[in-house]
Every structure is written in structure tokens, then in C-alpha cells.
RNA sequence: GCCCGGGUAGCUCAGACGGCAGAGCAGCUCACUCGUAAUGAGCAGGUCAGGAGUUCGAUUCUCCUCUCGGGCUCCA
């Protein structure tokens, strides 16, 4: 090795000798032209660096390209800087907060002079300015300043000054040397930033779109002033950007709120109140089918069915702790003549506990599993209500399992199996698990109890071959929880089932059972809901299936269309036969052209459209137009179709 | 709850310096009787979200309330 050379190591374990002073970008160029073109940043000894970073003897270097998530994040982050520059250009007196990359894009928070606001109409102008800045090919220049120098540079930007103050006192966010890092886009713009960034405002940027404006609290705290946030999406290529916009369109088409109207499933009449849904006949039928199957499975899994009222005296929720910890989420009380206060129930657990406590329990009864489709009411803040996924009145498929400490592990294991199995029957099969731990300051019980409960949940989760994600501080006030997250047909994740361990309420209600040793013992309580809420689960299914319910759930499974009046008698017999076989079939008479009737049935996303004409009357057959098929089938014997539909329903496809 | 933007027929949307409210689809009626995604004609459909104010006159301007959408915060 010549003295003016250094040796660096590549990710594949090989080494390479390069000239002293070689930068990460130079290295990429030496390896290949395409790599240089795709290179965004480099990973040098485990730290992300700009491509102009000079390499040193012995460095381990990986070039990160625009195909890598980290490269993409850098592109988004750099785009956010360009956004900030554009806004500061266009709005004299504006100041800025932070602007990180996020999933699919980026945002930047601003404060406009005199409490001004952005409007959606402003976005094209800002976007145009961003493209001008990109055209100027301004380099991203990294620098490190002493805190005092940085304070001078950002003297007009109070939020930046706050960040500098934090950085100079917080050892984690200061650089090793105690300096504050900045990135400059000369000649006009400089920002506090850890970096890294793309080389200049032209390279890799440009495949972006500003999406929306929003208010956002400074540092996410609702006590802080609200800043003006601009969201954008940014990608490595035009094709990726277009694909993303197309995905959004597809998601909008599946929106359960839109499909709920189009398919006549449910509505939210203003007269009832925000977040309170009514289910129409078709939605009600789907819901009934969902519930019926769930009931059937719960019977098979050894659950007992109970019922409880929607309201209760205050004392119950004092004992349970809800009024201490959950009062904000409850509707205000109803005052009765004699001064008695009643509350709408926000949860079912206290009621099930009273059923448990209605008499002395023996260890022979455990585990005791009490199930109810229980309607609960929660006072959600007006701004958070969203379709069926966030409502003020909902029905949970709720059960509380009372068991001994010894039974807890097995019970949690079989419960998780049950949950995943049932969700699969509803067509969801891509899951991960999330473990939510103690919410500090908002929890009852000792650390030891929480640790023990959390460990029990973790142990049960580990027996499943699924990814486990931690959610620190996300537990309920009475105990930790595991939630099952499901990915739908277009890859979005939804929180579905929750399983919560509770050592608290059994104590508060002084629950006990008589053990084999003839002593009193405290049972463990497991709260669990598989759908979460029926309303939310219904919404998820609507979106997952884009409204095209599988035959077992479809409100109408088959529609019979006679070609002309002469075929109506045969068509009626066919529809009657299907109904007699237990299917949901209807018939639309021939008073408009066949094409129009077919179109309507297609828009209703029915699994099967059955067309009958002369041939069918003569041969006892049916024309079958199956949803999603290329072309209709002719001359299908009615018995064959009946078997086919029966098989679809049985297979839940 | 907070910030921004909306609410006109069942749905999707147009409209007006403040002066009798418009279309397509859906609905109803009649005609057509048809082999796989829109048959034709006609009819009906509205306190322009609700309330107050300004005005000779308000769906239009102002304020309040309700409600929806996008975010923030929070969550099943």
C-alpha cells in the first residue's frame, strides 16, 4: 500500500485501497457509475454521513442509495429543508420549528407573523418556489457551531433557540465536541440539523408533492402554541411518487365512510349526535353474521354468556377506579331525584366482576370466562371522532376471564391462539403483536405487579411466531396489554384485538375463590376483546374487502335476473330454491334492460349475478356471473351452482 | 378540546353585486321485454345544516350553535 493511500472496508467484508482524501462519494464512483448515481449518503463506521465525508484509514463504509429506506428518509429530510427555505422566502417574518422525515414523506412546522395561517391554496405557490430552489442546485453544507454562535445565527427564530438551549444542556443531543450542528443551503438558508443530507437541492429531490396543511402543537404538547404544519410526500423517483398517489386514491375508494353510504350499510344521523352510528338493514345483516359466528366460536371455546345494563350508579365506577382514572373518557353523570348519580358505562368489566362475585367461587369453576357483546359509551373529544373507527358509542365483543395465577400462562397462550384463529376466519392473516407497558403516572398498582403481568404477556406472545413490538407506557390504567395488529389488503395496519392483564380490579372488588387447599385466593383477571369494537372491526372489514364481502358475509349473495318477463316464473322458482337452501338471494324483474340491472348488481358488489333466459328455462340451468370473473358462465346446472355457493360460504371465501 | 377548510335534492356537484334555486345519477309513473357494467319519455324531489343579527329583502354578509373533512393531542 502506497503511503498516500488508505484502506477501507466494505460491507461484504472485502477491503479496498483508495487515495487519501477520498470521500464517500468518490468511493461510490470508484465502485461504479450507477452506484454513484444512486448514492444518497454513506454509513461510515455505523454513522450516517454526507457523501462529501472524507474517509479515513480502516473505516467501514457502506454506500446508502435511494433504494434504501435510509436513503429515502434522507431525501425526505432534505426536501423538508427546501420547504422551510421556500416558506421563509415567501413569508417574511415567518419562523420555523422542526421538519423531520416521516413515513411516505415529511413535514415542517412554521409560525407565520401575526398569527397567520396557511391555506390549501397556498401550497402550489410554495411548491413552485421549492422547485425553483431545487433548480438552483444549492449545496447542503454541514457545519458545527458553538452554542453562542448558533444563538446569533438563529437570533430571530425562537423555536430554534429553544432547541439550541436543549442541545447545549442535554448531553444526548449535543455532538461529541459540545457543538451545535447546522446545514446551510447558500446563499439564503441555514437550519439546525443533525443531517445527513443529499449533496445539493437538485440531486435526488423533486419527486415530491405538498399534501396538506394542519395545526400542530409545538413539541406535541397541547399546552404549547399551535404551529402551522405543512405535510408533503417525497420519493426517489417519479414512478414511486405516482404509485404512492395511486395508493392513496385506492385507499380513498375503500374508505368505509364512503362505502357505508354507497352500499347503504350505516349512517351517522346528525339528530343522534356525533360518533353515534345507526346500522341500516344491509350493514345490520353483516354485523349480525359477524356476531353469530363469533358467538358460535365463543361457545366452542368454553365461554359463558352474560348480559349487563348500559348504566350504573356512581359507586360501581368508584370501586373499579374508572372515576379516578378514566373520568375524562366518560359521559357526565345523570342526576336522579334522590341525588343518586348514574353513569353510562365506559367498560364492561365492573359488571362482569359483579357476576363473578355474586356467589362464592370454587377453584373448580376456573377459568371462568364471561362473554358479552357489551355496549359502552365514551366521551371522545369532538376532534377525534372518525367514521366507525372512533365513535362515542360502541359494542365490544368483551370477555373477562377469571383464573388462578397458575392457570394464567396457559390461558393467555390458548387465548392468543383463539384470537388469531378467529381473525383469520374473517379474512385477516397478516399480524404482529404489540406489548403495551405501564403508563407512568396514570396507573394503579405496584411496579412488581406490573412487571409480573407484563412478563406473563410477553411469555405468551413469544410462543407465537409473530413479530413483537414494544409500546412503552401504552397500557391501560389497571394493567399491561397485548394488542394484535393486522395488516389489511392494501397493507395498512389496524389495531384489532386487545388482551389485558389486570391484578388491580380483583383487589379493588376483593374477589376470591376457594382453592383446593380450602383457603381463599385472589383470582387473576384477563380483559379481552377480539374485534375490539364491532363498529371498528366492521369498518376494517369494509376497507379490507373494499366493500366486496365474501359470500358468507355478503348481505345479498346472489341476484337472479330474468332476461324478459317470460322468464320470471323460472327466475322466481330459482330465487325461492336458493332461499330454501338458506342463501340470501333476491330477484330484479325485467322492467329495465339486462345491462342496466347487471351494472347495478356489480356496483353493489354482489358475489353472484344469475341470469336466466330461454336456454335455462328449458334445461334447468343458470348463467353465472361471478364477481371478479372475466366472463360469465352459461348453462350451469342449478344444483352445481347451489353446491358452489355452499362451498364458498363454508370456506368463508 | 385546539388549528384550518367545508355543509345547496337520497348521492355527486354547479350557482348567485343580496332580488322566484340548477344538473347528472338515484326514486316514482308509463312505454320498451332485452343473454352479461347505463332503454326512452315523463313526474316528483329543497326552510340552500340550525338559530340570531344587518337589510325593503339573506341560501348569499356578520355572529353563535350543530355537524363533516384534514391534522395536533388522545384512543377500541
Q: Is the CB of A102 under 7 A from strand B?
A: no
Of A490, A504, A611, A602, the closest CA to residue A561 belongs to: A611
Q: Is the CB of A274 under 7 A from strand B?
A: yes
Predicted local confidence at residue A371, as pLDDT: 97
Q: For strand B, give the nucleotides within 7 A of a protein CB.
A: 1-5, 7, 11-12, 26, 30-39, 66-76
Dump pLDDT digits (tens) for A525-561. 999 999 999 999 999 999 999 999 999 999 999 999 9
Protein CA A599 to sugar C1' B39 (Å): 14
Confidence of residue A174 (pLDDT cuts 50, 70, 90): very low
Nucleotide nearest to A603 (CA to C1'): B37
Chain A residues 15-74 within 7 Å (CB) of strand B: none
Q: Are A482 and A499 in contact (CB under 8 A)?
A: yes
A582 versus A439: the higher-pLDDT residue is A582
Dump pLDDT digits (tens) for A582-635. 999 999 999 899 999 999 999 999 999 999 999 999 999 999 999 989 899 999
Compute the distance between CA of residue A475 and CA of residue A455 in angstroms, rounded to an integer. Answer: 13
Q: Is the CB of A613 under 7 A from strand B?
A: yes
Q: Is the N-terminal amide bond of A35 cis, ω within 30° of 0?
A: no
Protein CA A279 to sugar C1' B36 (Å): 32
Of A584, A483, A604, the closest CA to residue A536 belongs to: A483
Annotated catalytic, A378? yes
Rounded to two decimals, the pTM is: 0.90
Compute the distance between CA of residue A558 and CA of residue A535 in angstroms, rounded to an integer. Answer: 26
A213 versus A582: the higher-pLDDT residue is A582
Residue A504: other Cβ atoms inside 10 A: 22
Helix, strand, or coil (residue A105): strand
Helix, strand, or coil (residue A486): strand
Closest alpha carbon to C1' of B30, residue: A591
Annotated catalytic, A398? yes
Protein CA A476 to sugar C1' B3 (Å): 29
Q: Is the pLDDT of residue A375 over 70?
A: yes
Percent share of chain A, pLDDT over 90: 75
Angular region, A42: left φ>0, alpha ψ -120 to 50, beta rest: beta
Q: Is the CB of A238 under 7 A from strand B?
A: no
Mean pLDDT across the stretch A413-437? 93
Compute the distance between CA of residue A640 and CA of residue A621 in angstroms, rounded to an integer. Answer: 9
Residue A115: other Cβ atoms inside 10 A: 9
A383 versus A85: the higher-pLDDT residue is A85
Nucleotide nearest to A219 (CA to C1'): B72
Helix, strand, or coil (residue A326): coil
Protein CA A634 to sugar C1' B32 (Å): 26
Annotated catalytic, A396? yes
Q: Look up residue A288 and give its three cell numbers.
A: 349480525
Nucleotide nearest to A383 (CA to C1'): B1
Q: What is the mean pLDDT of chain A?
A: 92
Q: Are A85 and A35 in contact (CB under 8 A)?
A: no
Mean pLDDT across the stretch A491-501? 89
User: Partners of A578 in the beta sheet?
Assistant: none
Amino acid at each position: 500500500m502506497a503511503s498516500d493511500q488508505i484502506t477501507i472496508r466494505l460491507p461484504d467484508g472485502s477491503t479496498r485501497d483508495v487515495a487519501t482524501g477520498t470521500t464517500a462519494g468518490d468511493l461510490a464512483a470508484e465502485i461504479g457509475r450507477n452506484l454513484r448515481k444512486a448514492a444518497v449518503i454513506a454509513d461510515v463506521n455505523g454513522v450516517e454521513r454526507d457523501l462529501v465525508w472524507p474517509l479515513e484509514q480502516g473505516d467501514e463504509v457502506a454506500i446508502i442509495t435511494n433504494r434504501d429506506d435510509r436513503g429515502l428518509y434522507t431525501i425526505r429530510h432534505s426536501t423538508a429543508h427546501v420547504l422551510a427555505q421556500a416558506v421563509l422566502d415567501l413569508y417574511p417574518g415567518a419562523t420555523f420549528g422542526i421538519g423531520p422525515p416521516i413515513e411516505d414523506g415529511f413535514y415542517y412546522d412554521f409560525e407565520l407573523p401575526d398569527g397567520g395561517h396557511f391555506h390549501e391554496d397556498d401550497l402550489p405557490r410554495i411548491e413552485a418556489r421549492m422547485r425553483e430552489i431545487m433548480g438552483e442546485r444549492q449545496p447542503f453544507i454541514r457545519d458545527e457551531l458553538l452554542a453562542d454562535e448558533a444563538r446569533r445565527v438563529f437570533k430571530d427564530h425562537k423555536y430554534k433557540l429553544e432547541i439550541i438551549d436543549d442541545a447545549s444542556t442535554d448531553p444526548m443531543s449535543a455532538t461529541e465536541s459540545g457543538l451545535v450542528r447546522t446545514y446551510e443551503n447558500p446563499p439564503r438558508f441555514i437550519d439546525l440539523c443533525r443531517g445527513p443530507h443529499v449533496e445539493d437541492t437538485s440531486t435526488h429531490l423533486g419527486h415530491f408533492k405538498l399534501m396538506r396543511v394542519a395545526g400542530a402543537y409545538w413539541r406535541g404538547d397541547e399546552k404549547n402554541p399551535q404551529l402551522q404544519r405543512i405535510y408533503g410526500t417525497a420519493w426517489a423517483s417519479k414512478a414511486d411518487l405516482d404509485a404512492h398517489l395511486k395508493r392513496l386514491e385506492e385507499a380513498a375508494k375503500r374508505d368505509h365512510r364512503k362505502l357505508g353510504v354507497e352500499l347503504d350499510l350505516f349512517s351517522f344521523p346528525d339528530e343522534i349526535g356525533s360518533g353515534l352510528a345507526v346500522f341500516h338493514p344491509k350493514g345490520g345483516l353483516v354485523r349480525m353474521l359477524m356476531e353469530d359466528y363469533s358467538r358460535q366460536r365463543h361457545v366452542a371455546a368454553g365461554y359463558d354468556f352474560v348480559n349487563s345494563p348500559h348504566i350504573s350508579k356512581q359507586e360501581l365506577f368508584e370501586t373499579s377506579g374508572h372515576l379516578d382514572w378514566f373520568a375524562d373518557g366518560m359521559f357526565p353523570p345523570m342526576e336522579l331525584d334522590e341525588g343518586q348519580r348514574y353513569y353510562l358505562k365506559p367498560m364492561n368489566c365492573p359488571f362482569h366482576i359483579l357476576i363473578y362475585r355474586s356467589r362464592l367461587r370454587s377453584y373448580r369453576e376456573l377459568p371462568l370466562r364471561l362473554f358479552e357483546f357489551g355496549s359502552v359509551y365514551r366521551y371522545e373529544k369532538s376532534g377525534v371522532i372518525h367514521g366507525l373507527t372512533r365513535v362515542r358509542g360502541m359494542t365490544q365483543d368483551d370477555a373477562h376471564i377469571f383464573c388462578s395465577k397458575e392457570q394464567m400462562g396457559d390461558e393467555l397462550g390458548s387465548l392468543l391462539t383463539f384470537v388469531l384463529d378467529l381473525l383469520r376466519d374473517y379474512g385477516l392473516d397478516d399480524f404482529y403483536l404489540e406489548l403495551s407497558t405501564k403508563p407512568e403516572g396514570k396507573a394503579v398498582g405496584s411496579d412488581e405487579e406490573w412487571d409480573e403481568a407484563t412478563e406473563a404477556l410477553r411469555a405468551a406472545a413469544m410462543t407465537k411466531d409473530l413479530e413483537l413490538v414494544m409500546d412503552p407506557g401504552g397500557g391501560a390504567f389497571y394493567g399491561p396489554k397485548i394488542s394484535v395488529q393486522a395488516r389489511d389488503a392494501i397493507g395498512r395496519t389496524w389495531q384489532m384485538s386487545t388482551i389485558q392483564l389486570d391484578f388491580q380490579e380483583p383487589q379493588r372488588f376483593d374477589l376470591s375463590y376457594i382453592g383446593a387447599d380450602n383457603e381463599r385466593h385472589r383470582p387473576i383477571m384477563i380483559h379481552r376483546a377480539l374485534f375490539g369494537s364491532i363498529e371498528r372491526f366492521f369498518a376494517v372489514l369494509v376497507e379490507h374487502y373494499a366493500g366486496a364481502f365474501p359470500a358468507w358475509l355478503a348481505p345479498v349473495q346472489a341476484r337472479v335476473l330474468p332476461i324478459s318477463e317470460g322468464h320470471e316464473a323460472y327466475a322466481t322458482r330459482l330465487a325461492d330454491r336458493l332461499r330454501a337452501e338458506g342463501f340470501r338471494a333476491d330477484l330484479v324483474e325485467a322492467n329495465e334492460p339486462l345491462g342496466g340491472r347487471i351494472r347495478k348488481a356489480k356496483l353493489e358488489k354482489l358475489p353472484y349475478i344469475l341470469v336466466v333466459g330461454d336456454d335455462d328455462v328449458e334445461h334447468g340451468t343458470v348463467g353465472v356471473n361471478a364477481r371478479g370473473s372475466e366472463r360469465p358462465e352459461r348453462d350451469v346446472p342449478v344444483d352445481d351452482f347451489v353446491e358452489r355457493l355452499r362451498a364458498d360460504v363454508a370456506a368463508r371465501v
